[in-house]
Structure 1
Amino acid sequence: MPEVIFTGPSGRLEGRFQPAKQKNAPIAIILHPHPAFGGTMNNQVIYQLFYMFSKRGFAVLRFNFRGVGRSQGEFDHGAGELSDAAAALDWIQSVHTDARGCWVAGFSFGAWIGMQLLMRRPEVEGFISIAPPANLHDFTFLAPCPSSGLIVHGDADRVVPQKDVQALVDKLKTQKGIKIDQQIVPGANHFFENHVDELLGICANYVDMRQAMIDAA
């Protein structure tokens, strides 16, 4: 798991990169929770997602947004962090130029950034959004959502009430040409305390299902 430093819009960004064995392997970037509330690339969910994708043959990158860890810059309330995510995607694409697919996975604040990124980057074919903060940030940019993906949240989440996530999912499900899978983890709070294994199993099964569909096509 090499440590990497790559150039972002506000200076260097610190990441961890796991290359893939196959030259044309798909790529994935993992986006961490809110920097102002202790979110880093070493968050347990982010760490586990990183290895989940790696075990499935992806070239995968997780990194610290600006102002977190050794990443330069200052917190920018989402606009700068979206630019950081775009720079991360550029970097991993420069390393894996023959990638046959591209995924974005994000947790909480990272889910909001990830869903903005997929609106800007048509090569993103799949996404995982964990506890997207639908009550805290505007998601109306998803008009229409260009990619199929998975949205997971806990029914005991007090940071992002289930009704707000449900409203987002219901809106996305009305769009043609994509499929939104939704999974609700009973008893899980916003941080999935004591439910991380269950969460990762849901995410792994979804990626396996999507990859099997691609292989069968």
Structure 2
Amino acid sequence: MSSRENSLFIDGPCGPLEALYLELPEARGLALLCHPNPVKGGTMQNKVVSTLQRTARDAGYSTLRFNYRGVGASAGSHDMGSGEVDDAESVVQWVHERLPQLPLSLFGFSFGGYVALNLAERLAAQGLVPERMFLVAPAVMRLESETTVSSQGSSLTVIQPEQDEVVNPQLVYDWSASLQRPHELLKVAECGHFFHGRLGELKDLVSSRL
């Protein structure tokens, strides 16, 4: 069984979106991975995103990661908001047309957590509730006040480094405490935003919940 991702382009709202896709035979589900802040150099090749991709792959999931508009070879320019959510929605539509039977899990790191949360709300409104959501150091400060997490059918895990220098951990803790739905908040002690030297621990936290 090959574990090599295939490079491809998916039609997005602003033109082709660069993606890496791994389709496993008899996959347990599909993992869609949303990368961090493109203005700060975030891409689908980010090491945290790559770790999440390998973790999902090793757990038997087909995986799909992609570059938002204006990142890498993806067409368009940064929107830093609803545009990236539009991109993610287009990617979900593409894969759902090909593999409608596979349950969807969403993974979002940093700005990608903002994208994943907003995407989940859109999908839920369409009757497509993600099976699982993993938010790693999510940029909750970008969320609009009306953004909710009402996908009650999905399992939600939030993983937050306690020494995060990019996303204020207390904002994530407060946001977690405000949620009106069951979820798990995992705090990683003595760890910064990018999990330097701690990627193995991140993989263990996620793999044990897949």
State TM-score, norm by structure 2. 0.90
Partner of 2:15: 11
> Tell me, which stretches of 5 or more residues in structure 1 are unaligned?
208-217
Query: Alpha-carbon deviation of 1:159?
Result: 1.8
Work out which of the residue numbers 87, 110, 124 in structure 2 matches 1:108: 110
1:205 corresponds to 2:208: yes
Contact 1:155 1:188 in 2 (8 A): yes
* Deviant stretches of 4+, over 4 Å: none
| Partner SS for 2:209 | helix
**2:203 alignment partner AA:** L
Instruction: Note the alpha carbon deviations across 1:93-120, whole angstroms, 9 max, x for none.
Output: 1221321x11100000000100111111
- Counterpart position of 1:94: 97
Summarize the alignment of residues 61-210 of structure 1 with structure 2, pairs less than 5 Å apart: 61-99=64-102, 101-122=103-124, 123=128, 124-138=130-144, 140-142=146-148, 144-146=150-152, 147-172=154-179, 174-175=180-181, 179-207=182-210
Structure 2 residue runs without a partner (length 5+): none
Identical amino acids, percent of aligned pairs: 28
| C-alpha contact (below 8 Å) 2:17/2:66 kept by paired residues | yes
* Secondary structure of 2:16's aligned partner: strand
3-state SS of the aligned residue for 1:51?
helix
- Select 1:46's aligned residue among 45, 49, 53: 49
Amino acid at match of 1:35: P
User: Across the two proteins, how many residue pairs are aligned to each other?
Assistant: 201
Distance in 2 (alpha carbons) for counterparts of 1:89 and 1:139: 25
3-state SS of paired residue (1:5): strand
Letter in 2 for 1:21: P
Q: State the alpha-carbon separation in 1 of the partners of residues 165 and 141 from structure 2.
A: 11
Q: Secondary structure of 2:208's match?
A: helix
TM-score, scaled to structure 1:
0.88
Deviation at 1:137, TM superposition (A): 3.7
Of 79-88 and 115-124, the range deviating more from structure 2: 115-124
User: How many Å apart are 1:13 and its aligned residue?
Assistant: 0.4
Contact 2:137-2:167 at 8 Å conserved across structures: yes
Cα distance in 2 between the residues matched to 1:55 and 1:144: 29
CA 1:113 to 1:139, structure 2 compared with 1: closer, same or farther past 3 Å?
farther
SS in 1 for 2:39: helix
Native 8 Å contact 1:25 1:98 kept in 2: no
**Offset at residue 31 of structure 1 (A):** 0.4
Give 1:161 deviation, angstroms: 1.8
